[in-house]
Structure 1
Amino acid sequence: MCGLWFNIVQHCLYLLVKNHSQKMLSILQNRYLRNMILLRKILFPFAILYGLITAIRNWFYDNGILKSNSFPIPIIAVGNLSVGGTGKTPQIEYLIRLLSPTYKVAVLSRGYKRKSSGFLLADYSSTAESLGDEPFQLHQKFPTSQVAVDANRKNGIERLLALQNKPDIILLDDAFQHRKVKAGFYILLTAYNDLYADDYILPTGNLRESRSGAKRANVVVVTKCPPTLSETEQTKIRQKLNLLAHQELFFSAIQYDENLHSENENRTINSFKNTDKLLVAGIAKPKPFFNHLQDGNDEELEFPDHHDFTENDIQTIQKKSKNKPIITTEKDFVRLKGKVNPAQLFYLPIQSVFLSNGENFNKKINNYVEQSTGNRSVS
């Protein structure tokens, strides 16, 4: 009898949520926005506790109480101190373009939100669901480079090195806090509009660890800068970050492609001018993407970062598009491909470009690789 009543109540709640989900979601979002600052202040004691735990963990690794594993191969780790939105994938792509003409490059990621587990090496049967959207994007974009996923980076590296066609270099994606592996070179990213020096530990802020974690970096890259960022403002940021003597600071910007790409064709952005479009993004900070493409009566549709598009989402997209072109990000394209009319679906590629001293950055990376012990056998 209790089970019957439970099922009745559960079904009633389901119908209530189903019929009023959008209204409820809107109310919750508005309340969240209004109370977020207050909530984060209330959670400040938890930020102190979280910061203490991460500080102890880092101290154990720094002093050899917890073991960091080294490998006889050049390993470059790319990451950040904050959660999401700093441009790790464009930075990984930059390194692949820089190094792949000379070396066999592998990328190892945890494969965030993938529907698989353990070690997985990308091949012809891989999908965005099995690898995760960003690793699958890299696999499709750079087919001559190896792309693998494993939440256990140590195991992932060992599996890559056990391959018959093992890589010369491994790039660790989003691995700045993965202390079980000791990379030979660390690249720390921080977004121009969200510098780690202005942030706080979770949950009061967005930092995964304290700002002092930046001392592990060989170089720091301020990403997503305005292309016209002045020397004066760069100096202010340099002073704010206050890097160690051996660390070097670089500034980079996102460069949008001039063309929109689909499965079957490439078209210039200008060819879509004065054409109503639906702009779709499931990334951490979509505003620059929308602003770059927004024109006339374009509609915008925003989803959470790494969103797994459901059947209802696809129906919403198709309904809102009304047969108009659907423009999305490259990361979202790999998840929408095959679900949306291919004649409508286009994506906008991006690249990371340095505002200045890019040659010096390239030199530092190449010098590290050339001098690494594991690279002596590279022909």
Structure 2
Amino acid sequence: MIFLRYILYPIVPIYYLVTWLRNKLYDLGIKKSISHKTPVICVGNLSVGGTGKTPMIEYLIHLLKEDYLVATLSRGYKRKTKGFQLANKDATAESIGDEPFQFYNKFKKNILVAVDGDRNNGIKQLQLIDNLPEVILLDDAFQHRKVKAGFNILLTTYSNPYFKDIVLPTGNLREPRSGSKRANIIMVTKCPKDLSDAEKNTILQKINPETNQHVFFSSISYSNSVISSNTNKPIDDLNDFTLVTGIANAFPLVSFLKEKGLKFDHLNFKDHHEFSEQDILELNKRDLIVTTEKDFMRLKQYKSLRDKLFYLPISIVINDEVKINKLIIDFLMHNAGL
């Protein structure tokens, strides 16, 4: 795969030019971005792969749900439905996608969860319902420029920041690095917890933010317990289990579990893996399974796994929560006229 990417290097300038031109047409107003009355906060990235969008969306939900009626809007990647879908009691990972289903399971009493490949249509549909949302969180929509979000949060990982990368197909960037200038906040995710001020300053210099941009650093925080459909178990009590992951980058999770001195084998699937009957038969042979919350949303439907399937919750810790919270609340106060 890596060799193929290098063979395709001559296509990089073409991809760069096409995506740069597309952005320029939007910047000049030749292609139209639509603004909406409801405040819209977009969380996205420049690169393919996992940068921590789901934990960031959940951070925003926790921040806002007590004071605002929050809606999340995703495309519902790999769902088996079409068009606009508003999550309800009959929702599944197959009907709305695993990440939106995770949001719905965790926050359904407090928020609205919707999916639509056409984000403008999704926003319009949300604005038609009786329970009108007061803020809409767009998940993975930084390149969806048909919507003019009022506030953009751009995520990039510490281990593979966008300023060291190039565009597809040889690199991982969906668009040129210059796209980062559209962000209000740039969040460097999955940082070591002991990241020094000197290294932060080095990264800041390489990002070289605009005067109106704010850069933050976040790290992953793992729970002390794993959770099943009916019980919790302290993580230190785990013995000889199977780790199942279907995420873009399982390395931080694997490293955490190894640092805990836990004994496990690892079944590593591709991101958003659709578990087959053969996969489930294999998992039925295992005595104890630990997985990610996203994968749990797809696996918990199998009754044969229910008593031995656990997930490890994660959250993010941001270096200056007071400042980022203020920036977000100020945006909403200004745009909602509250």
TM-score, with structure 1 as normaliser: 0.87
2:90 paired residue among 125, 130, 135: 125
Is 1:246 matched up with 2:216?
no
Identity among equivalent pairs (%): 52
Q: What residue identity is the alignment partner of 1:170?
A: I
2:202 paired residue among 216, 229, 236: 236
1:189 maps to 155
2:274 paired residue among 294, 308, 323: 308
Distance 1:361 1:296, change over 3 A: closer
For 2:103 and 2:119, locate their aligned partners in 1 and report how far apart those are by CA, in whole Å: 18
Secondary structure of 1:78's partner?
strand
Secondary structure of 2:113's partner?
strand
Is 1:290 matched up with 2:230?
no
What's the offset of the Cα at 1:317?
1.8
- 1:135-156 CA deviation, whole Å, 9 max, x = no partner? 0000000112000000000000
Structure 2 residue ranges without an equivalent (≥5): none
For 2:5 and 2:257, locate their aligned partners in 1 and report how far apart those are by CA, in whole Å: 34
1:83 maps to 48
Distance 1:54 1:230, change over 3 A: same
Secondary structure of 1:221's partner?
strand
What's the offset of the Cα at 1:293?
2.2
What's the offset of the Cα at 1:40?
2.4
Q: What residue identity is the alignment partner of 1:358?
A: E
Q: What residue identity is the alignment partner of 2:16?
A: G
2:64 maps to 99
For 1:112 and 1:228, locate their aligned partners in 2 and report how far apart those are by CA, in whole Å: 34
2:140 maps to 174
What's the offset of the Cα at 1:134?
0.2
Alignment of 1:35-54 (within 5 A): 36=2, 38-54=3-19
Secondary structure of 2:10's partner?
helix
Q: What residue identity is the alignment partner of 1:326?
A: I
Secondary structure of 1:60's partner?
helix
1:220 paired residue among 161, 180, 186: 186
Is 1:360 matched up with 2:323?
yes
- List 4+ stretches of structure 1 deviating above 3 A: 294-297
Alignment of 1:252-331 (within 5 A): 252-272=218-238, 275-294=239-258, 295-319=261-285, 321=286, 324-331=287-294
What's the offset of the Cα at 1:266?
0.9
What's the offset of the Cα at 1:318?
2.1
Higher CA-based Rg: 1
For 1:346 and 1:41, locate their aligned partners in 2 and report how far apart those are by CA, in whole Å: 40
What's the offset of the Cα at 1:359?
0.4
1:165 paired residue among 124, 131, 147: 131
Name which of structure 1's ranges 194-203 and 310-319 shifts more when overlaid on structure 2: 310-319
For 1:338 and 1:65, locate their aligned partners in 2 and report how far apart those are by CA, in whole Å: 47
2:21 maps to 56
For 2:85 and 2:196, locate their aligned partners in 1 and report how far apart those are by CA, in whole Å: 44
Secondary structure of 1:77's partner?
strand
What's the offset of the Cα at 1:316?
1.7
- Greater percentage in helix: 1
Q: What residue identity is the alignment partner of 2:251?
A: K
For 2:115 and 2:205, locate their aligned partners in 1 and report how far apart those are by CA, in whole Å: 37
Q: What residue identity is the alignment partner of 1:283?
A: I
Is 1:71 matched up with 2:36?
yes
What's the offset of the Cα at 1:296?
5.0
What's the offset of the Cα at 1:247?
0.5
Q: What residue identity is the alignment partner of 1:229?
A: L
What's the offset of the Cα at 1:41?
2.6
Secondary structure of 2:331's partner?
helix
What's the offset of the Cα at 1:49?
0.5
RMSD: 1.0
For 2:20 and 2:263, locate their aligned partners in 1 and report how far apart those are by CA, in whole Å: 50
1:21 maps to none
Is 1:205 matched up with 2:168?
no
For 2:156 and 2:113, locate their aligned partners in 1 and report how far apart those are by CA, in whole Å: 24
TM-score, with structure 2 as normaliser: 0.97
Q: How many aligned positions are there?
A: 334
Structure 1 residue ranges without an equivalent (≥5): 1-31
1:369 paired residue among 310, 317, 332: 332
